[in-house]
Amino acid sequence: MSKTYLIRLYFQNAMHIGAASPGIGLEGTDGMIIHSDTLWAALCNNWAIARKVGKVAFDDFLDAFVTGNPLFQISSGFPLTDKGYYWLPKPLSEPFPFTSDCQCQDDMRQDYGKAIKRKNLLRLDHFIGWLNFDDEIDLETAQDDITAGNAVDEVRPHNTLDRTSMAAQIYHSGSTYFDKGKAGVYFLLRTDDPDVAGVISDLLDIIKNSAGIGGNRSIGLGAIEHVDPMEEVDASWSFLNDNSGKNAYCTLSIYHPKPAENFVQGSVAYNLILRKGWTGSLSVGSQVKRQTVYMFAEGSVFTDEPQGHLVDLSPTQTPDNEPYPHPIWRYGYAFTVPIKIQQEKATHE
């Protein structure tokens, strides 16, 4: 039987997770979320360098994921703020107040809609209500702002010099700052192998002491201050496996369907996210741009349970016109929770 574990990371300063589609001259952040493929890449790269973590060799770890029998599944990383608030992605299905079943007043529905319109993250209790199709509207929770909970995105100017002409150029880079010791990032790990939890704990210690997570690590971003001891989720997370009355699935990770999946027929509401960048291998000196791919974003909803797979994004060629030394895999397995939906929207004269 699979178990789900909660993993909490706290950073020394800030982290930088580059947005997939920033504006011209603006390198933004990606909504305070560390996408699941970024987390998995950090685990994979450091596992490759260590060659063996605990009793699990890197080749065995990678082969399990490539062949469709992953040792574990992970969610994306979401903010954990002061007062113990956990934040999760806003499901893209219609919440109860917007459906024909809701008997609430139009002004209450409008206030609720305004409160959640621009949010991409919900507090845990609000998220559970959305999953359960609750008929109560909690405006106070809906209006809660994550920036009041010791986490904020900031964009700052930087200067770069052309190596030939020495001409200066300004660019902007976004970072997510957390109040030290009060806020951080958490993610969920699901596995049916009792040894995996210990292996991942050992690997996170390696990352904490050597690498960090995300971009701009050379200027101190992404450095991990400490990792809380991994623990199995308590009763407040029982919704993760609660199928009672549910008729769909919401993703807590990004997701790339494997060829055999009929995701079009089962899709209810979704966003697509562009995944691009450099190979980023810690075991190879030359880094080149990997192939790009679109994946389903966190909060996407499907009637059929998504599965996913590893996606091979190996560069077509290197500057030396030689094949890249090893495949470049990106994590596309879906981490889902059951959700109740009604696709019919409320109509009012």
Specify the residue for token string 């947005």: 19
Q: How confident is the model at residue 155 (pLDDT cuts 50, 70, 90)?
A: low
Domain ranges in the chain? Answer: 3-339
Residue 87 and residue 146 in contact, taking contact as beta carbons nearer than 8 Å: yes
Residue 184, beta-bridge partner list: 80
Mean pLDDT of 313-325: 73
Nearest-angstrom CA–CA distance, 295 and 273: 5
Nearest-angstrom CA–CA distance, 93 and 303: 11
How large a percentage of the chain has pLDDT more than 70? Answer: 79
User: Could you tell me how far CA 207 lies from the centroid of its own chain?
Assistant: 18
Average of per-residue pLDDT values in the chain:
82
Q: 347 pLDDT exceeds 50?
A: no
pTM for the predicted model, two decimal places: 0.85
Specify the residue for token string 């292996």: 199
* Residue in 154, 147, 12, 11 with CA at minimum distance from that of residue 85: 147
Q: 24 pLDDT exceeds 50?
A: no
- The pLDDT value given to residue 49: 86
DSSP class of 146: G
35 or 285, greater pLDDT? 35
Mean pLDDT of 79-102: 85
Angle between helices 36-50 and 196-210 (to 10 degrees): 90
CA atoms within 13 A on the CB side of 125: 11
Cα distances from 325 to residues 34, 246, 254, 277, in angstroms, run 27, 45, 27, 17
Comparing 44-48, 54-58, 243-247, 288-292, the range with the smallest average pLDDT is: 288-292
* Residue in 140, 36, 41 with CA at minimum distance from that of residue 78: 36
Q: 225 pLDDT exceeds 90?
A: no
Cα distances from 194 to residues 185, 186, 187, 239, 283, in angstroms, run 24, 20, 18, 22, 29
Q: What is the pLDDT of residues 162-182, one digit of tens each?
A: 777 777 777 566 667 677 767
260, two tokens = 């055999």
